[in-house]
Amino acid sequence: MPELRSGVRRGRDPTVDQRRKTRGRGAKKSEPLVGNYIRTRAAVAKEAAKADAAEIGAKTRPVRPRTRLASRNRAKAPVIVISERDGESGREQFKEVSEKGEGGDRIANPVEEVRAESRRKEMMGDDSGGLSANKAGGQEEEGSTAPFPERVQVGGSPVYKIERKLGKGGFGQVFVGRRVSGGNERTTGPGAMEVALKFEHRSSKGCNYGPPYEWQVYNTLGGSHGVPRVHYKGRQGDYYVMVMDMLGPSLWDTWNSSGQAMSSEMVACIAVESISILEKMHSRGYVHGDVKPENFLLGQPSTPQEKKLFLVDLGLATRWRDSASGQHVEYDQRPDVFRGTVRYASVHAHLGRTASRRDDLESLAYTLIFLHRGRLPWQGYQGDNKSFLVCKKKMATSPEMLCCFCPPPFKQFLEIVVNMKFDEEPNYSKLISLFEGLIGPNPAIRPINTDGAQKIIYQVGQKRGRLTIEEEDDGQPRKKVRLGVPATQWISVYNARMPMKQRYHYNVADARLAQHVERGNDDGLMISCVASCSNLWALIMDAGTGFSSQVYELSPYFLHKEWIMEQWEKNYYISSIAGATNGSSLVVMSKGTQYTQQSYKVSDSFPFKWINKKWREGFHVTSMATAGSRWGIVMSRNAGFSDQVVELDFLYPSEGIHRRWDSGYRITSTAATWDQAALILSVPKRKPGDETQETLRTSQFPSTHVKEKWAKNLYLASLCYGRTVS
């Protein structure tokens, strides 16, 4: 086995594969010394970037106007606040153009553009593991030019001389520290001659509020089963420093040095011991958040700990259990937040859901399959939407397909963990028992020490471990959370209302639309909801809208900006929208709404960051639609909601919907592409007398079901056609 680990921290440089090709003893060199300090490659790179930026700045220096008149004319140039390019529009922006005549038409700084592009390329991730941390985390340490001290003494520790670099992570870098004087021959403990020194710069993201967050986690977990102990910690100069035991190679190093292949027994031993380490960590209220081969390390070679497995890098660990109340943390979803490593992250992590114990186990499943097969189907994706593509592929790859070249326990393990509920307690002994048949009977000759796993089985007993895969502990059939066949269906939402007249039309061609609308208007009905399927329209009209007047437009463009602005000037507001696969749209605008201001955005991906920004400004989502893969979101002020959340999924977010319902939210908007379904759930300021809400997913338009719902005073409130699960 290799003597030293490398690349064992999250957030490694995205071009990992190129570096991995040169791994090995011959490729490792000590960092160059500058005076009494170590000059890092990050410092050299920053100097080169400054030189490049200066050269670019010289070539792109803006031309100043030669006269005051030219300067004034330049200031009066027309400003376009609303652009087709970013797809955002709004009544408030239109008024800024017509009344103020000023805004943000400015030329971007070309130097900053080059730097931003460079950062984007660095952040794209690699073919090996993708991003670690919350996307930008890995760049914090690279930007630091503060030199590392040649010697370190913190928190009452001995003096250590810094030697070779072991690796770097999203927030820190790790070096070998050799004790200058004293010490003993032991390889571990505070008196060891060699230790691992983890440096984190005081300005890094993890140190915004003082010492690194990771210190707090190690205070709780350090020294427990499978987690290395921190002997000393403190600050020296610009760096926070942790002194830890030196460990050996990572599982990635071991896999790579073994010809990128591991035996079934080796991976099975890793599985049972990893589960035992996670069980101990979870029992103390934490989830790791970045389980992957690079974060599992063996003990130092040729020592009694060389077969012992450790889990390191706790910078992304979070609490699944509230430390004060002891209760499970609340469920939430923020689609703009990703934490972990793209290749191994759980689907829930990709979708921005609150981390829980199931996520560590799903990441472990991908780790085990990678170590056994040598590759995962979603490797190789690049670009800005890498996480989107990887998540989509993960959800589309069945356990049977993913584990087709693995022994049966791998598939059984994956099926269990991907179907766990958010707050479900894992049955660790059952998970461990799955792999026992692949492991030799003599623990002394196993490639990995499995003492921790054996303790769990003995403590819990074999009875729980022998439960069949498809049953709960009480013997009842287990309800699957995620497994299912992706399908394209109608999603319909029904609300309890006082008895009223409602009418629906579907498969309506463009030429027939006006006829249905006019007939409904004559009967006192107005459009409450529109949708599209196969370039044909679905139309819901009822007598309970409260609108006083209504206009609509069929347009070959997805949300025709000029027409919408024209109606805004007449005090109409968007009340419903639909988009067709061919890019056309149907926009309905009404008078008599409670809205006081409105804005919309068209985007090639679900624009959660924009939605979140608008939430902070007092807007709420009031309509959604898709046209092909494009999203159109309408947000309004004074929408009548006190809170609002998003549920976004590549299948159908059934668990999330039920959790939101339990918290008082109700679905108020739906939309779906061929890849994703999104539901907006809101808390109304004025609670309805009957809060009953039901949803249906049907392959055909739910005409029969609608009539059945009417009989129970449940009326269609929202409708879309797109990605679900059957």
**Which string of DSSP letters, residue by residue, matches 477-531?**
BPPPSS-S-EEEEEEEEEEE-SS--EEEEEEE-HHHHHHHHHHHHHTT-EEEEEE
Q: How far is CA 723 from CA 347, 416, 648, in A?
A: 16, 24, 11
Taking a C-beta distance cutoff of 8 angstroms, is the pair 160, 179 a contact? yes
Residue 521 token pair: 């208007």
Q: Alpha-carbon distance 22 to 36, whole Å? A: 29
17 a catalytic residue: no
Q: Alpha-carbon distance 21 to 16, whole Å? A: 9
Q: What value does the CA radius of gyration of the chain take, rounded to a whole number of Å?
A: 29
Phi/psi of residue 317, nearest 5 degrees? -65, 140
198 annotated as a binding-site residue: yes
Burial of 389-403, coded b for 16+ CB within 10 Å and e otherwise, reads bbbbebbeeebeebb
Taking a C-beta distance cutoff of 8 angstroms, is the pair 532, 570 a contact? no
Distance of CA 33 to the CA centre of its chain: 39
Taking a C-beta distance cutoff of 8 angstroms, is the pair 679, 653 a contact? yes
- Cα angle 98, 100, 106; round to 5: 100
Smallest Cα–Cα separation from 413: which of 368, 459, 354? Answer: 368
Taking a C-beta distance cutoff of 8 angstroms, is the pair 369, 271 a contact? no
Smallest Cα–Cα separation from 564: which of 586, 538, 580? Answer: 586
**What sign has the CA pseudo-torsion 29, 31, 34, 37?**
negative
Q: Is 666 exposed, middle or buried (0-12, 13-18, 19+ CB in 10 A)?
A: buried
Q: Alpha-carbon distance 633 to 679, whole Å? A: 12
Q: Which residue type is seen at 219?
A: N
**What sign has the CA pseudo-torsion 53, 55, 56, 61?**
positive
Smallest Cα–Cα separation from 588: which of 555, 561, 616, 550? Answer: 550
Catalytic-labelled residue, pool 245, 290, 360, 649? 290
Question: How many Cβ atoms sit within 10 Å of the Cβ of residue 465?
Answer: 18
Taking a C-beta distance cutoff of 8 angstroms, is the pair 24, 190 a contact? no
Look at residue 547 and give its three-state secondary structure: coil
Question: How many residues make up the chain in this entry?
Answer: 726
**Catalytic residue IDs:** 290
Residues annotated within a binding site for ATP: 198
Annotated binding-site residue numbers: 198
